[in-house]
């Protein structure tokens, strides 16, 4: 157990899917897992462990922002012997090709955060990458399931609602698809702990079309992303 997770060691699977929202974790567990058991509720950060197609899977929320996922993912890697974490979250799109509902695979995360350097991880040009073998497995799974994905580099920042000129500069100068708030820390922790990490995202907001999902849709209408995460997990 840790100060943030009361689950016993054997109650956490080797592969963990991590949405930001605790209620999304609850919805995923109830809809997709068999015999799902709530194993953590400290600070309301729900974790459920069950089976998906006979493979033991944990779904645990990580909250919002780099510091929050930094704590929870590190504890899973370092203290619960988790081998792979797949973040399944939302992203604000910078490009018209990725409208609300589109699925993005974050091959790379660019950030101005000092998180990586503070934990001793080198981030060349402020970029960290998803684990190559996990990424390749997810790409193959998406192809097999005929789930359309957009792949590339995303911005991992503290300010989700940046100014429109800032978004355009980042898109044009860095080739960024959109902005979210956690992938950079997850990739840093995976590198530090010699583990595996990937970030699969659904566009919840478009800074191009100005469309946005409702709070209810953010919790429950992310099927393609969730299924892709689960199907990738059982192939690991």
Q: Each residue of 180-235: pLDDT tens digit?
A: 999 999 999 999 999 999 999 999 988 888 888 787 776 666 899 999 999 999 99
Quick check: is 224 catalytic?
A: no
60-65: long-range contacts, CB 8 A cutoff, minimum separation 24: 60/12, 60/16, 60/17, 60/18, 60/25, 61/18, 61/19, 61/20, 61/21, 61/22, 61/24, 61/25, 62/18, 62/19, 62/20, 62/87, 62/182, 63/20, 64/20, 64/181, 64/182, 65/158, 65/181, 65/182
**Considering just the CA atoms, what is the radius of gyration of the chain in Å?**
16
Check residue 170 and give its pLDDT: 76
Look at residue 236 and tell me whether its pLDDT is greater than 80: yes
Look at residue 18 and tell me whether its pLDDT is greater than 90: yes
Task: Quickly state the pLDDT bin for 168 (edges 50, 70, 90).
Answer: confident
Check residue 212 and give its pLDDT: 85
Of 57, 68, 76, the C-alpha closest to 22 is: 68
Q: pLDDT (tens digit, 9 = 90+) per residue, 122-145?
A: 999 999 999 999 999 999 999 999
Separation of alpha carbons 160 and 18, rounded Å:
19
Check residue 217 and give its pLDDT: 73
Strands 103-110 and 149-156: parallel
- Are the CB atoms for 70 and 187 separated by under 8 Å? no
Check residue 176 and give its pLDDT: 94
Per annotation, catalytic residue among 99, 172, 205, 224: 205
Check residue 163 and give its pLDDT: 62
Separation of alpha carbons 219 and 213, rounded Å:
10
Q: pLDDT (tens digit, 9 = 90+) per residue, 32-55?
A: 999 999 999 999 999 999 999 999
DSSP string, 133-195: HHHHHHHHHHHHHT--EEEEEEEE-S-SS--HHHHHHHHHHH-EEEEESSHHHHHHHHHHHT-
Element (H, E) at 47: strand 47-52
């Amino acid at each position: 157990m840790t100060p943030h997770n009361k689950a016993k060691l054997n109650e956490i699977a080797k592969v963990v899917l991590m949405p930001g929202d605790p209620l999304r974790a609850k919805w995923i567990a109830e809809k997709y897992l068999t015999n799902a058991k709530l194993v953590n509720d400290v600070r309301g950060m729900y974790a459920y462990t069950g089976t998906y197609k006979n493979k033991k899977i944990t779904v645990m929320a990580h909250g919002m922002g780099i510091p929050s996922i930094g704590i929870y993912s590190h504890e899973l890697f370092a203290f619960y012997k988790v081998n792979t974490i797949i973040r399944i979250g939302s992203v604000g799109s910078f490009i018209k090709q990725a409208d609300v509902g589109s699925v993005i695979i974050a091959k790379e995360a660019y950030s101005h955060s000092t998180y990586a350097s503070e934990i001793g991880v080198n981030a060349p040009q402020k970029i960290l990458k998803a684990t190559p073998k996990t990424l390749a497995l997810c790409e193959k799974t998406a192809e097999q399931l005929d789930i359309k994905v957009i792949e590339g580099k995303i911005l991992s920042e503290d300010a989700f609602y940046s100014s429109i000129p800032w978004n355009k500069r980042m898109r044009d100068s860095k080739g960024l698809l959109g902005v979210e708030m956690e992938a950079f820390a997850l990739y840093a922790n995976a590198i530090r702990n010699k583990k595996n990490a990937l970030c699969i995202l659904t566009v919840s907001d478009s800074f191009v079309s100005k469309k946005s999902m409702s709070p209810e849709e953010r919790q429950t209408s992310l099927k393609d992303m969730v299924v892709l995460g689960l199907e990738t997990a059982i192939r690991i």
